Amino acid sequence: MEVKNKHVVIKHHVEDAPKECDFEIKISDFALSVDPGSDDIIVKNLCISVDPYQISRMKRHSSSHGTITAVEPITPGQAINGPAIGKVVASGHAKFHKDDVVWGIFNWAEYSLVKERNIIKKIESFEFPLSYHLGVLGFNGLTAYAGFFELCKPLKGEKIFVSAASGATGNIVGQYAKLLGCYVVGCAGSQKKVTLLKEKLGFDDAFNYKEEKDLNLTLKSYFPDGIDVYFDNVGGEMLDAAIANMKAFGRVSICGVISEYIDTGKRCSPNMLDVVYKRINIRGFLAPDFMNVFEEFYEKTSDYLRTGKLKVIEDASTSMESIPSAFVGLFKGDNIGKKIINLA
């Protein structure tokens, strides 16, 4: 049986802020059958994750190229892939069967032909909405968990600063920090997001960085005794200001650099004398390196969700056609929380 399969491609490399016209929805014929005994698996997407890191893959040159499989370059005209939840439609692989629900790296498409290596996990429990497996129970949650607990080794009572705090990862970091008993301040790009952080997510405080003239003084006012842990997703001037306000033995985890994604000429320029004298530890990291703590993260986080201790913030669209605007919106701060495309 053959179907028409919609999928999203870039028309050309994307060098600056992405625009909807950089993308194209293509339709191709797609066979829904596999040869018995082959390793082929056909997955129908139920839910697609839209993440800022994809911009690095869309560039002609990028620090991401050649690092890990999950961020290999995207070729114009070719299907884009990324984290998604799908249902197995047909399988030649003995481990996967029709109607299995799987989390993996699938195309930004209705249907994907994949191999076992594309599948991260079979979803066995349907206790939570499927989309959670892409966010709070997926790579965003793992990024927050690993970057905060594994790398920063925070202690109860420590002072935590989170940038992009209403974003898919930042909001979870802030909530983990509160659950640990830390003092948490987040920054975001609108008053609405600031209100969400303080009123719904329980941040001790939050501010709209767009309204601040001197980030160094802003952070000094929120952290008069200094910052112990900075969870950074933005780089640039915010990173400089955070380093200027770190305490001795402060730790900085960096999982993304929004300021550089769409303008690689825009750099941070931290005072390295602060880094030396305050013995600051700055670490870049990627969640896939922490699959060794996945089960621990998943169990603890599931429990927080069950008991209502962790709130989930999602921003969902519902069609293949909405993917380009959803992606472009990430760089304009349109989304609040995890950006999801629900196709189910």
Q: Which residues sit at the interface with a copy of itself, rule CB under 8 A?
A: 56, 62-64, 67, 71, 235, 239, 248, 254-257, 260-261, 264, 267-286, 289
Q: Measured on CA atoms in the order 24, 55, 322, 331, is the torsion positive or negative?
A: negative
Phi, psi of 43 (to 5 degrees): -120, 135
Contacts of 235 (CB under 8 A, 6+ apart): 254, 256, 257, 258, 259, 260, 267, 268
Q: How far is the CB of 68 from a copy of itself (least distance, A)?
A: 8
Question: Which is nearer to a copy of itself, 155 or 248 (by Cβ)?
Answer: 248
CB 325 within 8 A of CB 21: no
How many of the other CB atoms lie within 10 Å of CB of 257?
22
Residue 120, number of CB atoms within 10 A of its CB: 17
Closer residue to a copy of itself, CB minimum distance, 57 or 178: 57
Residues 183-211: b if buried by 16+ CB within 10 A, e if exposed: bbbbbbbbeebbebbbeebebbebbebee
Shortest distance (Å) from residue 276 CB to a copy of itself: 4
| Phi, psi (rounded to 5 degrees) for 166 | -95, 0
Shortest separation between residue 54's beta carbon and a copy of itself, angstroms: 13
CB of 258 to a copy of itself, least distance (A): 10
Report which of 255, 224, 259 is spatially closest to residue 238, judged by C-alpha positions.
Answer: 259
- How many angstroms separate the CA atoms of 158 and 182, rounded? 5
Task: Give whichever of 164 and 268 is closer to a copy of itself, judged by the CB atom.
Answer: 268
Nearer to a copy of itself, 27 or 248 (CB): 248
CB of 64 to a copy of itself, least distance (A): 5
**Rounded CA gap, 239 and 253, in Å?**
11
* CB closer to a copy of itself out of 25 and 70: 70
User: In the numeric block, which tokens belong to residue 91?
Assistant: 């399988």
For a copy of itself, the closer of residues 5 and 62 by Cβ is: 62
CB of 279 to a copy of itself, least distance (A): 5
Compute the least distance from the CB of residue 282 to a copy of itself, in Å.
Answer: 4
**Alpha-carbon distance 152 to 270, whole Å?**
19
Closer CB to a copy of itself, 203 or 261, in the complex: 261
User: Residues with Cβ < 8 Å from 125, sequence gap 6 or more?
Assistant: none
Helices (H) and strands (E) in the chain, counts: 11, 15
Two structure tokens written together for 199: 């009123």
Q: Are 52 and 14 in contact (CB under 8 A)?
A: no
Nearer to a copy of itself, 79 or 268 (CB): 268
Q: Least CB distance from residue 255 to a copy of itself, whole Å?
A: 7
Per DSSP, the three-state class of 115 is: coil
Q: Closest CB to a copy of itself among 76 and 284? A: 284
- Shortest distance, CB of residue 324 to a copy of itself, whole angstroms? 23
Contact 42, 13 (CB under 8 A): no
